[in-house]
């Protein structure tokens, strides 16, 4: 089944404790991205990747890192999480950057205390 | 990307057609109209897209006015599972980020 998976689905952590949210797709997509969703602000793009070893900032990249060492994986790294990074995170992928259809993962709900 | 305007909420009776409007008066010639939906807090789901012509797929129909300044997403026979937030997005094909606005919260009632 074609899908985007994220782990963990739920995470509660404390300020400053490094964490990684994994994202994997099995569709051989070139383009992958991360969004965060906050009440009243909608979905905002954090980082995106056009292909392996090619990443770029989205609208709200501060406090996040990403890497794209393999085509299927695009982990989101929070080196020193803060409470303002409490949010619902979605990973998405598409065949290419401009492809009409983007596939979204199920989401990761992160709480930073 | 052009800005879109959608009503914040709509109701629809189960089995009836749900018609969701979207205004995009500043759309440019190379921008597509996309519709996604998000059921509760799940990941957004692609529904349909169009440029000039009306489009139909297994999920919905998209009607775009001749001047392209507005469009309507039609769910022909709404079910309770269609209750979701529906997002109208305008984007150049070669663009990358999807700019989700506030969308329309559709409630399908029995």
pLDDT (tens digit, 9 = 90+) per residue, A60-87?
Answer: 999 999 999 999 999 999 999 999 999 9
DSSP secondary structure of chain B: ----B--SEEEEETTSPEEEEEE-TT--TTEEEEEEEE-TTSPPEEEEEESSS-EE-SS-EEEE-TTSSEEEEEETT--GGG-EEEEEEEEETT--S----S-EEEEEE-
Q: Which residue of B has its CA nearest to A6?
A: B43
User: Mean pLDDT over residues B67-74, rounded?
Assistant: 97
Q: Which residues of chain A have a CB within 8 Å of the CB of B93?
A: 98, 100
Residue A98, pLDDT > 90, answer: no
- Split at pLDDT 50, 70, 90, the class of B96 is confident
Residue B97, pLDDT > 90, answer: no
Nearest by CB: A104 against B32, B34, B43:
B43
CB-based contact A81:A64 (threshold 8 Å): no
Q: In the predicted model, what is the mean pLDDT of chain B?
A: 94
| Interatomic CA distance for residues B24 and B73, integer angstroms | 13
CB-based contact A97:A56 (threshold 8 Å): no
Nearest by CB: A48 against B34, B43, B96:
B96
Nearest by CB: B100 against A4, A31, A42:
A42
Tell me whether B42 touches chain A (CB under 8 Å): yes
Weakest-pLDDT range from A40-44, A76-80, B93-97: B93-97
User: Locate tokens 């979605």: which residue?
Assistant: A90
Q: What is the pLDDT at residue A13?
A: 97
A63's tokens: 């406090």
Residue A50, pLDDT > 80, answer: yes
Apex CA B40: angle with CA B70 and CA A39, to 5°?
Answer: 75
Tell me whether B98 touches chain A (CB under 8 Å): yes
Q: Which residue of B has its CA nearest to A95?
A: B96
| Residues linked to residue A103 through DSSP beta bridges, in sequence order | A93
Count of positions (residues) in chain A: 113
Cβ contact B97–A33 (<8 Å): yes
User: Mean pLDDT over residues B81-109, rounded?
Assistant: 91
């Amino acid at each position: 089944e074609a899908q985007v998976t994220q782990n963990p689905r739920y995470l509660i952590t404390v300020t400053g404790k490094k964490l990684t949210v994994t994202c994997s797709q099995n569709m051989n997509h070139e383009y992958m991205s991360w969004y965060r969703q906050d009440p009243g602000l909608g979905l905002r793009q954090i980082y995106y990747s056009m292909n392996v070893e090619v990443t770029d900032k989205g609208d709200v990249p501060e406090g996040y890192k990403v890497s794209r060492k393999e085509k299927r994986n695009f982990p989101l790294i929070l080196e020193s999480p803060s409470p303002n990074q409490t949010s619902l995170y979605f990973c998405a992928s598409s065949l290419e950057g401009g492809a009409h259809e983007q596939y979204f993962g199920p989401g990761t709900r992160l709480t930073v205390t | 990307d052009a800005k879109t305007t959608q009503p914040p909420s709509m109701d629809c009776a189960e089995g009836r057609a749900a018609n969701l409007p979207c205004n995009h008066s500043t759309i440019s010639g190379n921008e597509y109209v996309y519709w996604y939906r998000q059921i509760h807090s799940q990941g957004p789901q692609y529904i349909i897209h169009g440029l000039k012509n009306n489009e139909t797929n297994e999920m919905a129909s998209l009607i775009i006015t001749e001047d392209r300044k507005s469009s309507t997403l039609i769910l022909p026979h709404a079910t309770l599972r269609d209750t979701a937030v529906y997002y109208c997005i305008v984007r150049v094909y070669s663009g990358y980020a999807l700019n989700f606005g506030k969308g329309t919260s559709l409630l399908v009632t029995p």
